[in-house]
Amino acid sequence: MTESAPLHLPRPFLGVSSSALGRTWVERCTAAQGTIALAIAQTHGLADVLARVLAGRGVGIHETQGFLNPRLRDLMPDPHVLTDMEKAASRLADSVMRREKVAIFGDYDVDGACSAALLAEYLRSCGVPYLIHIPDRITEGYGPNVDAIRGLKEQGAEILVTVDCGTASIEPLAEAKRLGLDSLVLDHHQAPAELPDALAIVNPNRQDDLSGLGHLCAAGVVFLFLVALNRSLRAKGFFNGRPEPDLLASLDLVALATVADVVPLTGLNRAFVRQGLTIMRSRRRAGLAALFDAAGLAGAPECWHLGYLVGPRINAGGRIGDAALGSKLLLTEDPSQAAQLAAELDRLNRERQAIEVAAVADAEAQALFAMERAPDLPVVITASPEWHPGVVGLIAARTKERFRRPAFAFTLNSDGTATGSGRSVPGVDLGSVVRAAVDAGLAIKGGGHTMAAGVTILAAELERFRAYVSERLADPVSTVRLNDHFPVDATLTAGGAQPSLVAALERAGPFGSGQPEPVFVFPQHRLVEAREVGSGGHVRVKLRGGDGSMIGGIAFRAAGQPLGIALSNAIGNSLHVAGTLSVDRWGGNEKVELRLMDAAKPE
Q: How large is the average pLDDT for residues 5-17?
A: 74
Evaluate if pTM is beyond 0.85: yes
Residue 573 DSSP label? S
Q: How many CA atoms lie within 13 A of 394 on its CB side?
A: 26
Contact 335, 294 (CB under 8 A): no
Contact 203, 222 (CB under 8 A): no
Query: What pLDDT score was predicted for residue 7?
Result: 45
d(CA 355, CA 342): 20
2 has pLDDT over 60: no
Which regions of 299-451 does DSSP assign to beta strands (E)?
A: 380-384, 407-412, 417-423, 445-448
Q: Max alpha carbon distance in the chain (Å)? A: 75
With the CA atoms of 182, 185, 186 and 192 taken in that order, what torsion angle do they form, in degrees rounded to the nearest 10?
A: -170
Q: How confident is the model at residue 154 (pLDDT cuts 50, 70, 90)?
A: very high
Q: How confident is the model at residue 6 (pLDDT cuts 50, 70, 90)?
A: very low
Give the least confident one: 216-230, 326-340, 576-590.
Answer: 576-590
Query: What pLDDT score was predicted for residue 449?
Result: 86
At the second CATH level, the architecture of 13-69+486-600 is Beta Barrel (2.40)
Report helix, strand or coil for 550. strand
Q: Alpha helix (H) ranges present in 243-302?
A: 251-260, 267-280, 286-294
Domains of the chain, by residue range, sit at 13-69+486-600, 83-247, 374-482
Q: Give the DSSP per-residue string, 434-472.
A: HHHHHHTTS-SEEEE-SSEEEEEEEGGGHHHHHHHHHHH
Q: How confident is the model at residue 9 (pLDDT cuts 50, 70, 90)?
A: low
d(CA 361, CA 305): 25
Across all residues in the chain, what is the average pLDDT? 94
d(CA 397, CA 408): 8
d(CA 294, CA 341): 10
Angle, CA of 549, 553 and 557, to the nearest 5°: 160
Per-residue pLDDT tens for 250-297?
Answer: 999 999 999 999 999 999 999 999 999 999 999 999 999 999 999 998
Q: How large is the average pLDDT for residues 348-363?
A: 93
Q: Which of 182, 180, 154 is nearest to 166 (CA)?
A: 182
d(CA 307, CA 431): 21
DSSP H or E stretch at residue 244: none
Residue 236 DSSP label? T
Q: How confident is the model at residue 10 (pLDDT cuts 50, 70, 90)?
A: confident
Peptide bond into 264 cis (omega under 30): no
The arrangement of strands across the sheet holding 452-458 comes to 380-384, 407-412, 417-423, 452-458, 445-448
d(CA 291, CA 310): 7
d(CA 92, CA 185): 12
d(CA 590, CA 278): 20
Contact 80, 204 (CB under 8 A): no
3-state helix, strand, coil in the chain (%, to 5): 45, 20, 35
d(CA 260, CA 210): 25
156: CB partners within 8 A, 6+ apart: 101, 129, 131
Domain 83-247 grouped into CATH 3.90.1640.30: yes
Q: How confident is the model at residue 300 (pLDDT cuts 50, 70, 90)?
A: confident
Within this chain, domains 83-247 and 374-482 share the same CATH topology: no
Per-residue pLDDT tens for 161-219?
Answer: 999 999 999 999 999 999 999 999 999 999 988 999 999 999 999 999 999 999 999 99
Strand partners, 410: 383, 420
> Could you tell me which CATH number the domain at 374-482 has?
3.10.310.30
Q: How large is the average pLDDT for residues 90-115?
A: 97
Amino acid in position 157: A
Query: What pLDDT score was predicted for residue 311?
Result: 96
d(CA 154, CA 564): 56
Contact 518, 580 (CB under 8 A): yes
d(CA 303, CA 504): 16
Query: What pLDDT score was predicted for residue 141?
Result: 87
d(CA 253, CA 202): 19
- The distance in angstroms from the start CA to the end CA of the chain is 39
